Amino acid sequence: MILIDGKKAAAELREELKHEVTGLKAKYNKVPGLTVILIGDLTPSQIYVRNKEKSANEVGLKSEVIKYPDSIEEKKVLEKIEELNKDETVSGILVQLPLPKHIDKQKVIETILPSKDVDGFHPMNVGNLSSGYESSVPCTPLGCYLLIKKVEPNLNGKKAVIVGRSNLNGKPMTQLLLKENCTVTITHSKTKDLKAECLEADIIIAAVGIPELVRGDWVKKDTIVIDVGINKTDNGIVGDVHFDEVSKNAKALTPVPGGVGPMTIACLLKNTIDCFKRSLS
Q: Which residues are at the interface with ligand GUN (CB under 6 A)?
A: 94-97, 119, 139-140
The one-letter amino acid at 240: D
Nearest to ligand GUN by Cβ — which residue?
Answer: 97
Active-site residue, 217 included = no
In the complex, minimum distance from the CB of residue 261 to ligand GUN, in angstroms, rounded to a whole number: 10
Contact status, residue 195 vs residue 220, Cβ threshold 8 Å: no
Is 270 marked active-site?
A: no
Annotated catalytic residue within 62, 80, 96, 158: 96
Q: How far is the CB of 140 from ligand GUN (least distance, A)?
A: 6
Q: How far is the CB of 97 from ligand GUN (least distance, A)?
A: 4
Q: Is 52 a residue of the active site?
A: yes
Nearer to ligand GUN, 51 or 130 (CB): 51
DSSP 164-175: ---TTTHHHHHH
Which of 117, 119, 240, 274 is flagged as catalytic?
119
Nearer to ligand GUN by Cβ, of 140 and 187: the residue is 140
Distance CA 240, CA 230 (A): 7
Query: Cβ of residue 15: shortest distance to ligand GUN, in angstroms?
Result: 22
Q: Which is nearer to ligand GUN, 32 or 172 (CB)?
A: 172
Least spacing, CB of residue 120 vs ligand GUN, in Å:
9
DSSP state string for the chain: -EE--HHHHHHHHHHHHHHHHHHHHHHHS---EEEEEEES--HHHHHHHHHHHHHHHHTT-EEEEEEE-TT--HHHHHHHHHHHHH-TT--EEEEPSS--TTS-HHHHHHHS-GGGBTT--SHHHHHHHHHT-S----HHHHHHHHHHHHH-S--TT-EEEEE---TTTHHHHHHHHHHTT-EEEEE-TT-S-HHHHHTT-SEEEE-S--TT-B-GGG--TT-EEEE---EEETTEEE-SB-HHHHHTT-SEE--SSSSHHHHHHHHHHHHHHHHHHHHH-
Instruction: Report the nearest approach of ligand GUN to the CB of residue 73 (Å).
Output: 20
**Nearer Cβ to ligand GUN, position 255 or 261?**
261
Nearer to ligand GUN, 249 or 271 (CB): 271
Which residues carry out catalysis? 52, 96, 119
